[in-house]
Amino acid sequence: MRVLVTGGAGFLGSHLCESLLVDFHEVCAIDDMFRGRKKNLESCKSLAKSIAEAGGGVPFHLVMKDGAASESYETALKRLNGSVDVVYHLAAINGTRWFNERPDLVARVNLSTLQAALDFAVTNGARFVFTSSPEAFGDQHEMPIASNSDSQFRSSAIHQRHSYGASKYLGELLIQHAVKTHSLDARIVRPFNSYGPRLPGDSHGQVVSMMLERCLAEEPIEIHGTGEQTRCFTWVEDMIQGIRSAGELDQGLDGSNLTGRAFNLGSTEETSIRKLAEICRTVTGTEISPIEVEGHPGDSERRVPDCTEARNALGWEANLPILDGIQRTWAWMKARHEA
Ligand SMILES: NC(=O)c1ccc[n+]([C@@H]2O[C@H](COP(=O)([O-])OP(=O)(O)OC[C@H]3O[C@@H](n4cnc5c(N)ncnc54)[C@H](O)[C@@H]3O)[C@@H](O)[C@H]2O)c1
């Protein structure tokens, strides 16, 4: 298959590109490097080199351009010799601090990149996979969240965190429109707190890496808010398997039609942020006690997926327990630090 991955130099994008290359697909990534990193793609480059040396052509391309500009897609199409089978659209501004600090940027980038990627898929007859988010449900309190639960958003005057969740909600709406008006074969996936190697751990990063980075620096882990809020942390390789199944299956394993469907992809192991801090301390052997800091405005109390649809149609469920995943992430982080 010829595959385009927007946001391909980011956390999930780089794992997705790598996984596709391992199975000998030809991959082109578009990323403007807002948060993507060339070093995330080192294993893709070495895989591509081995395949090329074995006479398999050049299977990996990187277009370092804006995913909201149609020219970026024209360049990508040329690199893929004029045809594309599946577009995985991952480009977005992700990272909680951005949602509150730059809601204007988050809304603009998330919607403009999606529109450009959608137009490209429609024009070229490609299948489309959109990485939405559980944040598309906003302040929905009823758990577990089903595939078709309602979205609820509080007044935007209270906080602007939902610049991200609302952009994902509107993104899903644009997908449904393209399915109906252009017969686009699109599928929606909603990753629930994926983690693993390469997850950003800086101040705009995600909680698992932020905690492990603090342990590495021998500084106290910061717990935002009460620490009683829970998440369902999902190992990155499990996540990539789910995203790929959504893009590769012609129809559901249960015989169902996948077009226009949305799949929650998440572990069902619910872990509080305080418990996560304890797991990180145990795995890293950190004795320093965590400290409590101000919470993020609008942070949800719980986020638990109902993955029935993914299980039935994609044959997918998360496998790796959180303790094992944190051990693997820590091993990677220490090796990177010592290199
Ligand atoms: N990681 C998760 O647990 C999670 C959860 C829910 C949803 N998602 C969604 O999955 C996708 C990937 O998430 P991630 O965790 O890998 O985030 P990430 O920030 O690592 O990856 C996003 C990538 O998009 C790129 N990008 C941003 N603006 C761009 C633009 N204008 N043009 C081209 N590239 C651009 C960034 O540079 C980055 O490499 C995102 O759409 C995110 O919203 C992720």
Which residue from 4, 6, 12, 28 has its CB within 8 A of the most atoms of ligand 1, so it is best to mutate? 12
303 vs 185: CA distance, rounded Å: 28
Confidence of residue 205 (pLDDT cuts 50, 70, 90): confident
Residue 176 lies in a domain: yes
Residue 304, pLDDT > 90, answer: yes
Which residue from 4, 33, 35 has its CB within 8 A of the most atoms of ligand 1, so it is best to mutate? 35
> Structural domain of residue 149, as residue ranges?
92-196+236-267+305-319
Q: How many structural domains does the chain have?
A: 1
The per-residue pLDDT for 296 is 87
The per-residue pLDDT for 293 is 94
Confidence of residue 215 (pLDDT cuts 50, 70, 90): very high
Residue 339, pLDDT > 90, answer: no
Helix 42-53 × helix 11-22 angle, to 10°: 20
Is the beta carbon of 162 within 6 A of some atom in ligand 1?
no
Residue 168 lies in a domain: yes
Residue 201 lies in a domain: no
Q: How many C-beta neighbours within 10 Å does residue 72 have?
A: 23
User: Alpha carbon of 322 to those of 212, 269, 319: distances in Å?
Assistant: 14, 8, 9
- Please give the backbone phi and psi of residue 49, each rounded to the nearest 5 degrees, phi first: -65, -45
Is the beta carbon of 91 within 6 A of some atom in ligand 1?
yes
Residue 147 lies in a domain: yes
Atom 34 of ligand 1: nearest residue by CA position: 31
143 vs 9: CA distance, rounded Å: 33
The per-residue pLDDT for 222 is 96
Atom 7 of ligand 1: nearest residue by CA position: 133
Residue 100 lies in a domain: yes
**Distance between alpha carbon 232 and the CA centroid of its chain, in Å?**
14
pLDDT digits (tens, 9 = 90+) for 72-96: 999 999 999 999 999 999 999 999 8
CB 276 within 8 A of CB 224: no
pLDDT digits (tens, 9 = 90+) for 35-46: 999 999 999 999
The torsion angle over the Cα atoms of residues 292, 296, 299 and 302, rounded to 10 degrees, is -20
CB 334 within 8 A of CB 172: no
Confidence of residue 203 (pLDDT cuts 50, 70, 90): confident
CB 105 within 8 A of CB 212: no
State the CATH number of the domain containing residue 163: 3.40.50.720
Is the beta carbon of 10 within 6 A of some atom in ligand 1?
yes
pLDDT digits (tens, 9 = 90+) for 174-202: 999 999 999 999 999 999 999 999 999 98
Confidence of residue 298 (pLDDT cuts 50, 70, 90): confident
Residue 12 lies in a domain: no
Residue 297 lies in a domain: no
- Ligand 1 centroid vs 13 CA: distance in angstroms? 7
The per-residue pLDDT for 297 is 87
Pick from 126, 109, 7: nearest CA to 64: 7
The per-residue pLDDT for 299 is 87
Residue 39 lies in a domain: no
According to the 3-state scheme, what is the secondary structure of the chain? Answer: CEEEEECCCCHHHHHHHHHHHHCCCEEEEECCCCCCCHHHHHHHHHHHHHHHHCCCCCCEEEECCCCCCHHHHHHHHHHCCCCCCEEEECCCCCCHHHHHHCHHHHHHHHHHHHHHHHHHHHHHCCEEEEECCHHHHECCCCCCECCCCCCECCCCCCCCCHHHHHHHHHHHHHHHHHHHHHCCCEEEEEECCEECCCCCCCCCCCHHHHHHHHHHCCCCCEEECCCCCEECCEEHHHHHHHHHHHHHCCCCCCCCCCCCCEEEECCCCCEEHHHHHHHHHHHHCCCCCCEEECCCCCCCCCCCECCHHHHHHHCCCCCCCHHHHHHHHHHHHHHHHHC
pLDDT digits (tens, 9 = 90+) for 4-56: 999 999 999 999 999 999 999 999 999 999 999 999 999 999 999 999 999 98
188 vs 176: CA distance, rounded Å: 10
The per-residue pLDDT for 179 is 98
Q: Which range (66-75, 163-172, 185-194, 293-302) has the least confidence?
A: 293-302
The per-residue pLDDT for 321 is 97
pTM over 0.95: yes
Is the beta carbon of 230 within 6 A of some atom in ligand 1?
no
41 vs 197: CA distance, rounded Å: 12
